[in-house]
Structure 1
Amino acid sequence: MSVVPAIESVPASSRWPWLAEFLAGEWRAWIFVGKSLLAIYLAAWLAMWLQLEQPSTTMITVSIVMHPHSGMVLAKSFYRAIGTLAGSLFGLALMSLFPQQRELFLLSLSLWVGLCAGGATLYRNFMSYGFVLAGYTAAIVTLPAINNPLDVFDSAVMRVSEVLLGILVAAVVSDLVWPERLRLLLRQNAQAQFNVFIDFVRESTAGNMPREQMEHANLALARAAVRLEDMRASVIFEDPEVHARSTRMRLLNQRYMAAATSFQSLHHLINRLQRGGSPSVADALIALYRPLGDALSPALAQQHQSVVLAARLDECVVQLPAQVAALRAPLSEPLAQLEFDTGAALLQRFVMELRDFATLEGSLREAQVRGSVEKVHFKRSNDIPGALVSVLRTFLTMGALSAFWLASGWPFGAGAMLLATVFSGLLAASPNPLSATTHTLLGYVAGMLGAFLVVYVLLPGSNDFAWLIGASAGFMLIGPYLSTRDTLPGVGPGYTLGFVNILALKNPMVYDPAHFLNDGVAQVAGLALAGTAFILLPSVIGSSWQRTRQFRRLREQAVLAATAPLEGLAWRFESLVRDLFQQVVTYTRPGSDESRSMLAWALAVLESGRTMIELRQQLAADSKIAPAVRDTATAAMHAIARLYQAPDAARWRKADAAVHAAIATAAEQPLRLPLYQLRSALRDDESPFATYIPPPSPESVHAA
């Protein structure tokens, strides 16, 4: 039977790719909206069936916890549950200490909420939710019972029950209804990170990479490392298999960062040799580098297969010593030999790290995890002074509201304090809290108006839960849908919170327009006061003051490399530098002088810090090193640490002299190689130390 080829029509998605992308985005958005509505109404029905006092609290919990990815929901739920329990216990303790002393009670509550807001700023990801909830729950447990302290225990039990029910419903719906698994996204990101790095290394084997290209590459590498750790921290909640692979994922990220630092150091050295009048040495290192490119260039279909690449890299490691000896032989001058030996050691280290990286990546693709691996952690750099500013701001906000409440006897002061508590914590970690407050306030007011129409126009006369859904669903879905739009950050969550708060489902339902208006005014006032506090005491996140301190902390990581205990130092150094680098660059204008200075310092810190760690490991491993050699090498590292701590020309000269003395003392020992790399980095005319480097003289050109 003959087959006649048909003329296939061109799909619309290929003719209008923007339309296909739009439809795919809308499909994902409406799936999220549908899941959110299902979870919110299911939670409300269960709360009413269980005779809980305020189903609206359960609905608010669901709206805050819901996320398109199930792993994110579980992570938020975990920290939210911990925060709820901690806040409830603190609220009970506080009420038992000050049952009839309102002033001391509100003062202590304000301090607790301030500390929780500081914790929300200090910790990132969904851990911040735990702190926000710890402050918010203490307020919702105690403030309604402030006139009758004997009811505080019942209030705590009820609020915890409502919140935990919302957490449970959100987790079940997210995990069972069209689940979008975060682990798949993590796997894709890890694979993309591996592929991009391998391609980048393969294409760079010519050995000549401009400084600007290396700076941008380092920025991309830092972002990829931080993003992978953020995602891994959420995925471990999704299923046991991912949790079992979590240790390997952490180690994979650390091996990625270690290989990236060695790669950067090697290219910097080659580029310095090309600029500094040693082209023969640079050419020899480039020739030594090319076999790595061959190892990373199997058949096209295998170029990203980690098992294949790991085997080829292992062969490259075995062959490198013979190639090093062959390329070193024509170099007769001692300085040229030292330069070549330093580069060859770096290349050998890089190839071994790349092999280990590919091997571990391959083990993660296996269906079953076998054996155990080294336990490492991604160390974060938290900004304590910035958190203290958040503590002070929130404490003053809550203190001012408390004083006004006590002085005026405002019946709805508790509502204002609750909203101020929530948004003081949520907005504390925002890079632009004023903008976030404005968007949230607009959404909140719109949600209140929608709730007013539902409660006083559509709901009266209804007699079952189906009528409630029919009356409110059209208004309710606006919030989740707006949450999927990046162009209106904060408006969607604000709308949902305003709508559910003012809808105020209760057992039984109450219709009181006067209460509605007073409660709405109080809630808007609390939110507005929380935003006003950011005007009076601005956030430090992204400020020049914070960037200056983080910039200083970045340089001080070189001090950490030179002086901190060696155990676990390598992974702590790599992760701290990249986390700090990512924090500062996020709030720095791309292409600005500040951004370029930051990139240059990050590269310098990574190169010098990693080299000092390697040098210290050699000193610790070889007990036969002469005391004089050990002392001069240690003195050189301390001089470099002091230079990074407070850079100036005098300290640069002392560091340069100390390293030169250590090289001379080390004679022909292996310690000369990392010491020479340190001196080469100090004399890099494209580094931040370029202004301190004196003009070359005939004597300095031939100095070892």
Structure 2
Amino acid sequence: MSDTATASATSSNATGVRAAFVDWWRTDGLTWIYLLKALAAAFLALAIAMRLDLPQPRTAMTTVFIVMQPQSGAVLAKSFYRIGGTLVGLVATLVLVALFSQHSELFLGALAIWTGICTAGAARNRNFRSYGFLLAGYTAALIGIPAAQQPNGAFISAMTRVSEVTLGVLCAGFVSALVMPQHASEQMRSAVRARFSRFVDYVAAVLARRIEPAHVERTNAQFLAEFVGFEAMRSIAVFEGPETRLRSNRLARLNSEFMTASTRLHALHQLMNRLRAQEATETTEALEPYFVELGTLMQTPGEPVLSAADASRAAQTLQTYKSELPRRVRQTRTVLIETRPDCALLDFDTASELLYRFVDDMHAYTLTYASLATATHERERSPERYEPKTNAVATAIAGVRGALLMGALSAFWIATAWPNGGTLVFVAAATAALASSSPTPTRMATQMSIGTVLAAIVGFVVEFGVYPHIDGLPMLCVALTPPLALGVFLTTRPKIAGIGAGYCIFFCTLAGPDNVTRYDPSGYADSAFALVLSMLACALAFALIVPPSTPWLRAHFIADLRRQVVLACRAPLARVRGRFESRARDLAFQAHAIEQQTSDAPREALAWLVVVLEFGHAVIDLRGELEALPPDPRYAASMPWRRGISRARGALVALFERPSARSLDAALAATIDAIAAVQQALITFEPPRDERHRLQRILSYLHFVRTALIDPHSPLAAFAPAAREDVRAGTSETGASHAS
């Protein structure tokens, strides 16, 4: 008995130790693996550079820490754009040196303009493309400033520097891809699975009214971040192998369909809340059974959707439910007419149409998820592309700020004739571009300043206290391991990653070994002072020259977000939905990131995002139904009811371009007039069944717009009179269900 108990205890302890090791391996273990890989890549680049007798081996080592990432795909993506940017910067350097090398003021002025353009490009592209622009500007400054002082050796200097950078990129990619690689594609599979399951749970909770408004807002913010993060991860994963590339378009489509389904669910949720607030009990009670059924259907006990293969079963269930829904809604509507003749049928029709649209969007999302189980699939075609782009005004500000910073530091260099003025200028070019692509540029530049100070202190100890006592590459690597490991570890801590980046990069710049070591304490101190001063100048520029938290800039982001409704009203219909959805969410993500930096900033971005998505989708659906009408004179654009809809769209454009009490009243009046005109058209002539259903869907979208315009919880309510009586559109007895 005792032996059995001992064996059981031993087995339990072994299981606990194994579980603890697995947990450590998945968290801190990955950090240590990344740290060792970064050091191995840096030492490999250093050894090859020294073996090839390159002038500055430290440049190759510095490049490793700039491009190194935990995921192999991130390293490859970063390296691809870094090499491309370096080559562009090389060409720009040779052109600037050839044109202005004999006139330092003209050269530095042209270099400042070029750096401003590259800084704007880095700020505009919030993905790995930003590194291409970063390197195009940084390389021009790094190579161009010394080359302009010795133009006869400009070409050789440029080529050797490009060789050093390319060597560092290749070593980072080689080690990352071959030594215990960590693939973003594996994280993406887990993210897809987890997001689908979490969204299903959220849908069930929303439909069952088991969710608080504050939780809805937090979930929308989480969905917004997941949407942007998923696209960033997908852009990385395509570099890792053919398997992900074969599914890349489907993954983009999956993200787009997730966006659409979440937007449709929120619109349905908002409409039902408005109807409950208006005490439209007949409509809400008639639709409640459908919500209960759908929530139960998506959470079938014992049959969870855990993989793409499982999603096929869920897609079939949704298809069956969707095909039966129109008939059942028509029956419910008939019963409603017979038992509640005073019921507002337009409310019921609008809510049932949104319900059907949500089921259809959720079915498409599930089908795309199921298609990931196969290598090739027809859903790979016609993807909706999303590319994160910073607001144009913020981009221009970043470019002007970078050019002004370079110009001011260049003027300081010329005025003082400081020997290390060149270092001051080209480091500012790199820091300005790097920080511009960060959501918190001032914080990024400040953290890099702190990291540079730390690097200067540690580097001084290594340079003058360690190097004189060692000999040979093995001992050099041993001596560099502790200080470099500290920097790499700091980069793995999200809150202080800027300190780690500044430390790693500028430790190599200051104390990185060369083929022939020169011990010059005063020169070292002067270089360190130039680096720190450059960082502080960048932080000061970001803090003073239109910082991102400026109320004016925040308001501009919100205005740009509102203008996406104008896009939905006017852009060509072919691919407007994907452009509208991704652009609106991207702008909201940028505005929300800025709001989070300031504790007293009002949280407007998410509120306006909800409104913009509601109106935008309704207008796009409305335009789609109008486009699908047959070529019949009764449906011509010159008909009074079509002109009424055009006036309503124009009023919405005016409202979202310049919201005011007057434009809000005009939009509401035009929408009510359009509803009345469509109702009158339905009464005037008897169209065939399919055409009648289409007109009723048009009526539903107009009615949804009307309810959104008078929503007291909408940001638009700030422009409404304090005591406006709710004007309800007249009910119509015409038409059957339009969830068909």
Matches of 2:664 and 2:495, distance apart in 1? 48
CA contact (8 A) 1:445 1:498 kept: no
Whether 1:657 aligns to 2:669 is: yes
Aligned to 2:411: 403
Cα separation, partners in 2 of 1:635 and 1:17, compared to 1, 3 Å: farther
Whether 1:328 aligns to 2:355 is: no
Cα separation, partners in 2 of 1:83 and 1:250, compared to 1, 3 Å: same
Matches of 2:653 and 2:15, distance apart in 1? 57
CA contact (8 A) 2:567 2:580 kept: yes
Cα separation, partners in 2 of 1:107 and 1:261, compared to 1, 3 Å: same
Whether 1:612 aligns to 2:619 is: yes
Cα separation, partners in 2 of 1:21 and 1:663, compared to 1, 3 Å: same
1:270-285 counterparts in 2 under 5 A? 270-285=272-287
Aligned to 1:392: 400
Aligned-residue offset at 1:702: 5.3
Please give the per-residue CA displacement for 1:544-594, whole angstroms capped at 9, x wherever unaligned. Answer: 222111111111111111112112100111111111122222232599896
Aligned-residue offset at 1:696: 7.2
1:377 to 375, 382, 385: 385
Matches of 1:260 and 1:590, distance apart in 2? 26
2:458 to 445, 450, 456: 450
CA contact (8 A) 2:201 2:299 kept: no
1:435-446 counterparts in 2 under 5 A? 435-446=443-454
Aligned to 2:268: 266
Aligned to 1:31: 33
1:580 to 578, 582, 587: 587
1:7-26 counterparts in 2 under 5 A? 7-8=8-9, 25-26=27-28
Aligned to 1:352: 360
Range with greater deviation from structure 2 (347-356 or 489-498): 489-498
2:60 to 55, 58, 61: 58
Cα separation, partners in 2 of 1:696 and 1:473, compared to 1, 3 Å: closer
The amino acid of 2:416's aligned partner reads S
Cα separation, partners in 2 of 1:681 and 1:13, compared to 1, 3 Å: farther
1:520 to 502, 524, 528: 528
Aligned to 1:234: 236
Aligned-residue offset at 1:75: 1.5
Aligned to 1:205: 207
Aligned length: 701
Range with greater deviation from structure 2 (382-391 or 332-341): 332-341
Cα separation, partners in 2 of 1:620 and 1:382, compared to 1, 3 Å: same
Aligned to 2:705: 678
Please give the per-residue CA displacement for 1:391-420, whole angstroms capped at 9, x wherever unaligned. Answer: 222222222222232233322222222222
Aligned-residue offset at 1:161: 0.7
CA contact (8 A) 1:685 1:693 kept: no
1:211-222 counterparts in 2 under 5 A? 211-222=213-224
Aligned-residue offset at 1:293: 2.4
Matches of 1:552 and 1:698, distance apart in 2? 27
Please give the per-residue CA displacement for 1:310-330, whole angstroms capped at 9, x wherever unaligned. Answer: 010000011112211221112
Range with greater deviation from structure 2 (164-173 or 617-626): 617-626
Aligned to 2:574: 567
Aligned-residue offset at 1:291: 3.0
Aligned to 1:633: 645
- Structure 1: runs of 5 or more not aligned: none
Aligned to 2:119: 117
Aligned-residue offset at 1:217: 3.0
Cα separation, partners in 2 of 1:510 and 1:644, compared to 1, 3 Å: same
Matches of 2:161 and 2:571, distance apart in 1? 46
Cα separation, partners in 2 of 1:587 and 1:19, compared to 1, 3 Å: farther
Please give the per-residue CA displacement for 1:598-644, whole angstroms capped at 9, x wherever unaligned. Answer: 33322121111100000001111113324222211121121122122
Cα separation, partners in 2 of 1:403 and 1:654, compared to 1, 3 Å: closer
Aligned-residue offset at 1:538: 4.8
Aligned to 1:493: 501
Range with greater deviation from structure 2 (558-567 or 57-66): 558-567
Q: Secondary structure at the match of 1:588?
A: helix
Cα separation, partners in 2 of 1:198 and 1:558, compared to 1, 3 Å: same
The amino acid of 1:231's aligned partner reads M
1:248-263 counterparts in 2 under 5 A? 248-263=250-265
Please give the per-residue CA displacement for 1:213-237, whole angstroms capped at 9, x wherever unaligned. Answer: 4333322222221111121122112
The amino acid of 1:36's aligned partner reads A
The amino acid of 1:361's aligned partner reads Y
Whether 1:137 aligns to 2:135 is: no
Aligned-residue offset at 1:666: 1.1
Whether 1:306 aligns to 2:311 is: yes
CA contact (8 A) 1:554 1:605 kept: yes
CA contact (8 A) 1:554 1:581 kept: yes
Cα separation, partners in 2 of 1:371 and 1:530, compared to 1, 3 Å: closer
Matches of 1:679 and 1:532, distance apart in 2? 48
Aligned to 2:320: 315
2:480 to 467, 472, 477: 472
CA contact (8 A) 1:589 1:595 kept: no
Please give the per-residue CA displacement for 1:637-666, whole angstroms capped at 9, x wherever unaligned. Answer: 211221222222222222112111111111
Aligned-residue offset at 1:340: 1.4
CA contact (8 A) 2:116 2:403 kept: yes
Aligned-residue offset at 1:369: 4.7
CA contact (8 A) 1:13 1:19 kept: no
CA contact (8 A) 2:668 2:709 kept: yes
CA contact (8 A) 1:632 1:661 kept: yes
Matches of 1:336 and 1:620, distance apart in 2? 28
Range with greater deviation from structure 2 (573-582 or 680-689): 680-689
The amino acid of 2:575's aligned partner reads G
Matches of 2:192 and 2:598, distance apart in 1? 28
Aligned to 2:738: none
CA contact (8 A) 2:350 2:701 kept: yes
CA contact (8 A) 1:62 1:166 kept: yes
Aligned to 1:552: 559
CA contact (8 A) 1:450 1:475 kept: yes
Identity level (%): 34
Aligned-residue offset at 1:17: 10
2:519 to 504, 511, 525: 511
Matches of 1:329 and 1:594, distance apart in 2? 50
Cα separation, partners in 2 of 1:400 and 1:651, compared to 1, 3 Å: closer
The amino acid of 2:327's aligned partner reads A
Matches of 1:590 and 1:531, distance apart in 2? 16
Please give the per-residue CA displacement for 1:441-491, whole angstroms capped at 9, x wherever unaligned. Answer: 232222223223323232226442112112222222211112122343322
Instruction: State the Cα RMSD in Å.
Output: 2.7
Matches of 1:444 and 1:199, distance apart in 2? 47
Aligned to 1:191: 193
Please give the per-residue CA displacement for 1:247-300, whole angstroms capped at 9, x wherever unaligned. Answer: 111111111111112111212222222221310111111223333224313332
CA contact (8 A) 1:557 1:609 kept: yes
Cα separation, partners in 2 of 1:218 and 1:499, compared to 1, 3 Å: closer
Aligned to 2:607: 600
Aligned to 1:127: 129
The amino acid of 2:190's aligned partner reads Q
The amino acid of 1:632's aligned partner reads G
CA contact (8 A) 2:490 2:496 kept: yes
